[in-house]
Amino acid sequence: MVVNVASACGYTPQYQQLQELYETFEDKLVVVGIPCNDFGGQEPGDHQQIQTFCSTRYGVSFPMAAKLSIKGAQAHSLYQWLGSKALNGVMDTEVRWNFHKYLLDEKGKLVKSLPSAVEPFDDEVLRWLQS
């Protein structure tokens, strides 16, 4: 699961659920947090500040990437790939806010794109994990 994250967002409490999901399904799931400041300037911190916030406030132990730009002309190549059917071979998608989730299978194939409001323990995520 690839999730763009931010420390000052209404969805920030999802960090706790993401950590719980990561621990519950550690044998079949890796959560990768991608800090992003593209939406409302809600992730202004540097890498160390983000790491400290996540670990002390939410006990995050899942992998966190460096802060990336994920939209527009400055979008990182990962998000270019995730958003373009021509590149990923599956679907066109658009990240509209923080905590957008991408589900990828064990071979790295894009399976699903889930908007921010879909929580980590949503039935759609659980069905995917149990399939």
Cα–Cα distance measured from residue 45 to residue 95, given in angstroms and rounded to the nearest whole number: 21
If you compute the radius of gyration of the chain from its CA atoms, what whole number of angstroms results? 14
Active-site position among 1, 2, 9, 36: 9
Whether the CB-CB separation of 68 and 79 falls below 8 Å is answered with yes
Count CB-CB contacts under 10 A for residue 117: 12
Whether the CA torsion 69, 72, 78, 83 is positive or negative: it is positive
Cα–Cα distance measured from residue 100 to residue 120, given in angstroms and rounded to the nearest whole number: 10
Residue 36 is among the residues annotated as catalytic for this protein: no
Catalogue the active-site residues.
Answer: 9
